[in-house]
Chains A and B, each alone.
Chain A
Amino acid sequence: MNLILKDVNLFNPFSNIDQKKVSVLLKDGTISKIGNIDSKEFENAEIFELDGKYVVPGFMDMHVHLREPGREDEETIITGSNAAANGGFTEIACMPNTSPAIDSAEIINFIKKHSKKHLVNVYPIAAASMGRNGEVLSPIAELFEAGVVGLSDDGVAIKTASLLRKVLEYSKMYGLPIIEHCEDETLADGAMNEGINSTQLGLPPLPSVSEDLIVSRDILMAEYTGGKIHIAHISTKKSVQLVKEAKQNGINITAEVTPHHFTLTDDSLKSYDTNYKMNPPLRTEEDVNAVIEGLKDGTIDCIVSDHAPHSIEEKEEEFQYAPNGIIGLETMIGLSLSELYHKKILSLKEIVEKLSINPRKILKISVPQFSVGELANFTIIDLDSVWTVDISKFKSKSRNTPFDKKLLNGQSVGVVNNKQMFIDGAFVNI
C-alpha cells in the first residue's frame, strides 16, 4: 500500500534532518520518497493531511512493566503494547519483575512470540540474578543471545556489592547496561518520602538518602569494574548531583527520570490517594527542581514512564498497604511536552533525544535515520494540541494514574512501525 504523510515537519536530530512542510511517501511501510512527490503518486495513495505536525523517530520508553507472565489481569504484552502505541511509542523495553521473573531464554522467547506481530517492538530487560533474588547470576550470556538489551533486579537494587561486581564484570562481555532501582533495602520500609509531609501525615518515611547510598555505591562499582550502570527513575537532588559528577569523571553511567518525578511533589500525598504512591516516592520541590536541572544540563539522559499497572482493588487498599506505581505510557508524551517543551526547559531536539534517541543508544538499538529504503519508524506529534487526559480512553488494562482529567498541551497523534500505523485509535496495515 502507498501512503503519503502530507505537509509534515520532518525532524530527526540523529541524522540532522529538519525539513518543514514536506511530504513523505511510504510504500509497504518503507520510506520511498521525501520531498517533491509526483502528483501521480497522490492518485494511488492514502493521504494523511498532517499540516505542520512533526514526524520524529519513533519514541521509546525503556522502563515499562508489562505484567505478563503472572498478572495478566493488570496488563498483558498486547494491552501494554497497545497502550504504548496509543501513547506515541514504537519501542518499549519491558522490565523483569514478572512472575516468574524474566530470567531465562524461554521467557524471552515467550515475550517475543507474543509481541511479534505488533506495531510496537518489545525489548526485554532480564533479571540480573535468578528470580531477582540477589543471590545467583542469571544466565547472562544466554539471555543476551536470546535478545535481552539490559539487566536489572528491578524493584530492588542488586542486593550485595559482591554480586553487583560480578554482574558488572560479566555483562561487560556483552555490553549490556545494568539498570538499577537504587534503594538501600535496610532503609526501605516506608510509604512516602521522609520530610515534613510524612511527619504530618503519619506515614512511615522513606528517606532520600536510601536512594543516594545505592547511587554512590553503583558509581564507585561502575568505576572500579568499567561496567555500565543506568540509574532507573532518579528522584533526589543528591543523586542527580552524584550522577553529574560521575559523568564529569568519565564513568560509564546514564540516568532516566519519570514524568511524575519532574511534575509532582510529596504535597500530593495529603489526600492519601494511592495513585500518588510510587517507589521512588514523590519527593520535594527542591528535588523536582534538581531533576529538571539535570534534564536540562544532560545529567539525565532519558524520560521513561515506569508504567506500573495495578488492579483497582489493590490500589483501593489502605495507603500503607497499597502497592507502589502508576501507569504512564499514555500520559508521558503529553506531560513531557507540557511541562518541559512548552515551559521552555527542553527544546524539541532535546525532547526527541530524551524520548527517542538516548534510550536506544543506552540499549544499543539502532536509531531510525529517515533514509529512503528504511522501514518507517515514526511518531507523529502535534505540539499544540490541547487535550484532557481521559482514563476511559486508555488502551492499558489498568487505570491507576493521578493524571486523569489533567489538561495537557501536546500529544502523539499516531505512530508508524513494522508496516503498521496507529492513528485515530486504531491499527491499520500499510
Chain B
Amino acid sequence: MPLSSRHLLGLQAVPKDDIQLILETANTFREVLERPIKKVPTLQGKTIVNLFYENSTRTRISFELAEKRLSSDTINFSHSASSVKKGESLKDTIRNIEAMKIDMIIIRHSAAGTPLYLTKICSANIINAGDGIHEHPTQALLDMYSLKERFGKLEGLKVCIVGDVAHSRVALSNIYGLKTMGAIVSVCGPSTMIPKYIEKLGVSVTYDIDEAIRENDVLNVLRIQLERKAGGYFPSLREYAKYFGITRERLDNNKDITILHPGPINRGVEISSEVADGNNQIILHQVTNGVAIRMAVLYLLGTLN
C-alpha cells in the first residue's frame, strides 16, 4: 500500500497507516546502513534538490546522505536569507529549479507554510525539512522510530516534550505523530514557552520538571535557542538550567527514563554533560535512524508516481 500523499509537509494530517509504513520501510534501510556497501539503486535517475533557506548542518547532511545512498542525483542550494531580502522571489527560484527538470525538493525555510506554497507552484514532490516554528516531520518520524526501536511500540508510551515548545517545529510534529500513534503526550517548560492554547491539541502541561521525569517513559528535550533569551522568554540561562535542565541528580527519580534530543545540544543548559553522555540518552541512535527515516520517506515518495 503506497502513502496517501505525494508530499510530506507535516504530520498533522498524516494517517496512522502512513506513519506505520514509513517506520517499517525505515527498518529495511536501517539494515542497509549496517552493510559494508551502504548504497541501493532505488532512486537512480531521480534528481533531488536540497533547498535550505536556513542554516542547518545535520538535517541537510542527513538528507544528502539518504539521497546518495538511494543513488539519486543531489543538488544543494543554500540561501542565507529569505527571498524578501534578496532580489529573486521564492516563486521565481522554485520555477527556475523546476525548469531544470527535478523530481523532488527538500525545503527548509524560516517562514511557516512555505512547503505548502511550493506544492501550489511546482509539480515536484515536496518534503518539509522544517518551516519556521511550524513542523519538522522527518525529525518527529525519526524520534518515533527511535522510540519504537527501544520500546517495541508507541501505543500508551508516555512522552513529555521539554523546553521551548512555543518556538519549536520539533514539538508540534512530535505531538501530532505521537498522538496519532496512540502515545500519551505532555509538555513541560517555562510558562512563557508553552503556547497558550496547547491543551486543545490533547496534551497536558506541567511546569515541574521533576514531575515530568517521574511521570513519563520518555523526555524529548528541545534545544534552547540562545536567541530566545534576547526575547525575554526566560530570565537567564543559569535560571533555565537550574529549574528545567536535565541533570543526573534529577534522573535519580526515574532511572529508566529515556532521553531524546533533536540536537544540536547546549551542554549545561537544557541537558547536563553527564546526561548527554549517559545511559538514558539515545541521541546518536536518533542521528543514525534519521538517515534511515529519510531514506524511507524519499523512497516512498520517489517511487509513488
The interface of chain A, by Cβ under 8 A from chain B, is 194-196, 199-204, 271-272, 313, 316-321
Contact with A along B96-135 (1 / 0, CB 8 A): 0000000000000111111011000000000000011111
Q: Does B61 contact A (CB under 8 A)?
A: no
CA A272 – CA B195 in complex, angstroms? 20
CB-defined A-B contacts under 8 Å, sample of 8: A194-B197, A196-B197, A200-B172, A200-B201, A201-B112, A203-B113, A271-B116, A318-B83
- B90 CB contact (under 8 Å) in A194, A201, A271, A318: A318
CB of B27 within 8 Å of the partner chain:
no
Given the complex, which residues of B lie within 8 Å of A194, measured CB to CB? 196-197
**Contact status A196-B201, CB under 8 Å:** yes
Known: A196-B200, A200-B172, A202-B172. A317 touches B132 (CB 8 A): no
Q: Provided the pairs A203-B112, A203-B113 are in contact, do residues A318 and B84 lie with their beta carbons within 8 angstroms?
A: yes
Chain A residue with Cβ nearest B116:
A272
Across the interface, A272 reaches (CB within 8 A) one of B89, B113, B172, B196, namely: B113
Q: Is the Cβ of A202 less than 8 Å from the Cβ of B197?
A: no
Which residues of A are found within 8 Å of B12, using beta-carbon distances?
Answer: 200
B247 at the interface (CB under 8 A from A): no
Interface of chain B: mostly helix, strand, loop or mixed: loop
Whether the Cβ atoms of B197 and A319 lie closer than 8 Å is: no
Residue of A199, A202, A271, A317 touching B198 (CB-CB under 8 A): A199
Q: Mark B11-36, 1 if CB is under 8 A from A, else 0.
A: 01000000000000000000000000
Q: Is the CB of A318 within 8 A of B82?
A: yes
Q: Is the CB of A203 within 8 A of B132?
A: yes
Q: Does B169 contact A (CB under 8 A)?
A: yes
CB proximity of B73 to chain A, nearest CB, Å: 28
Chain A residue at minimum C-beta to C-beta distance from B166: A199
- B134 to A201, Cβ gap below 8 A? yes
Do A317 and B89 touch (CB < 8 A)?
yes
A contact residues around B90 at 8 Å (CB): 317-318
What is the CB-to-nearest-CB distance from A320 to chain B, in angstroms, rounded to a whole number?
4
Partner of B111, one of A195, A200, A319: A319
Q: Mark B169-211, 1 if CB is under 8 A from A, else 0.
A: 1001000000000000000000000011110110000000000
B109 A202 Cβ-Cβ under 8 A: no
Q: Is B91 an interface residue (CB 8 A)?
A: yes
Contacts of A313 in B (CB 8 A): 89
Q: How far is the CB of B119 from chain A (nearest CB, A)?
A: 11
When C-beta atoms are compared, the residue in chain A nearest to B195 turns out to be A199
In the assembly, what is the distance between CA of A320 and CA of B110, in Å?
A: 9
Residue of B nearest to A204 (CB): B133
Chain B residue nearest in CB terms to A313 = B89
Q: Is the CB of B197 within 8 A of A195?
A: yes
**Count, chain B residues at interface, CB 8 A:** 28
Nearest CB of A to B94, in Å: 11
In the bound complex, what is the Cα–Cα distance between A199 and B12 (angstroms)?
12
Contact B114 A318 (CB under 8 A): yes
- A residues near B114, Cβ cutoff 8 Å: 318
B 56-93 contacts with A by CB, 8 A: 82-84, 89-91
Q: Kindly identify which residue among A200, A203, A204, A318 contacts B117, using a CB–CB cutoff of 8 Å.
A: A318
Task: State which of A272, A316, A317 has its C-beta within 8 Å of the C-beta of B112.
Answer: A272
Q: CA A200 – CA B166 in complex, angstroms?
A: 11
Q: A199-B201, A201-B112 are in contact. Are A316 and B133 (CB under 8 A)?
A: no
How many angstroms from the CA of A319 to the CA of B112 in the assembled complex?
7
A195-B91 Cα distance, complex, nearest whole Å: 29
- CB neighbours (8 Å) of B117 from chain A are 272, 318-319
B126 to chain A, nearest CB (A): 13
Q: CB distance B113 to A317 under 8 Å?
A: no
Question: Is there contact, CB below 8 Å, between A202 and B131?
Answer: yes
Q: Are A320 and B201 closer than 8 Å at their CB atoms? A: no
| Bound CA span A302–B288, Å | 61
Which chain B positions have C-beta within 8 A of A195? 197
Minimum distance in angstroms from B108 CB to a CB of chain A: 13
Which residues of A have CB within 8 Å of B112?
201-203, 272, 319-320
**Residue in A196, A202, A203, A272 with the greatest tally of chain B CB atoms within 10 Å:** A202
> How far does the Cβ of B202 sit from chain A's closest Cβ, in whole Å?
11
Tell me, rounded to whole Å, the shortest Cβ–Cβ distance linking B11 to chain A: 11
A222 to chain B, nearest CB (A): 30
A277 CB to closest chain B CB (Å) equals: 11
A317 touches B83 (CB 8 A): yes
- Whether the pair B83, A202 counts as a contact (CB closer than 8 A) is no
Q: What A residues does B133 contact at CB under 8 A? A: 202-204
Contacts of A203 in B (CB 8 A): 112-113, 132-134
Beyond the given A195-B197, A317-B90, A319-B112, could you list 14 further A-B residue pairs with CB under 8 A, ordered by the A residue number?
A: A194-B197, A196-B200, A199-B198, A199-B201, A201-B112, A202-B135, A271-B116, A272-B117, A317-B83, A318-B83, A318-B84, A318-B90, A318-B109, A319-B113
Q: Which residues of A contact B132 (CB under 8 A)?
A: 202-203, 320
Q: Kindly state the separation between the CA atoms of A284 and B91 in the bound complex, as whole angstroms.
A: 31
Question: For A272, what are the chain B residues with a Cβ–Cβ distance below 8 Å?
Answer: 112-113, 116-117
When distances are taken between beta carbons in the complex, the residues of chain B under 8 Å from A200 are: 12, 172, 201
In the assembled complex, the Cα of A195 lies from the Cα of B12 at a distance in Å of 17
What chain B residues lie within 8 Å of A321 (beta carbons)? 82, 84, 111
Would you give the shortest CB distance from A351 to chain B, in whole angstroms? 36
Closest chain A CB from B140 CB (angstroms): 13
- Distance A271 CA – B200 CA, assembled complex (angstroms): 20
Q: Which residue of A lies closest to B197 (CB)?
A: A196
**With the chains together, A264 CA to B89 CA distance in Å?**
29
Question: What residues of chain A lie closer than 8 Å to B82, measured between beta carbons?
Answer: 318, 321
With a cutoff of 8 Å between Cβ atoms, the chain B residues found around residue A202 in the complex are 112-113, 131-135, 169, 172
Provide the bound-state CA to CA distance between A313 and B90, in Å. 10
Q: How far is the CA of A204 from the CA of B167 in the complex (A)?
A: 9
> How distant is the Cα of A196 from the Cα of B195 in the complex, in angstroms?
9
Q: What's the least CB distance linking A385 to chain B, in Å?
A: 33
Chain A residue numbers with a CB within 8 Å of B197 are 194-196, 199
- Least CB distance from B167 to A in Å reads 9
Q: Are A318 and B196 in contact (CB under 8 A)?
A: no
Contacts of B200 in A (CB 8 A): 196, 199
Give Cα distance in the complex from A200 to B198, angstroms: 9
Cross-chain contact A320 with B195 (CB below 8 angstroms): no
Q: Give residues 129-185 of B contacting A (CB, 8 Å).
A: 131-135, 169, 172
A196 — which chain B residues lie within 8 A by C-beta? 197, 200-201
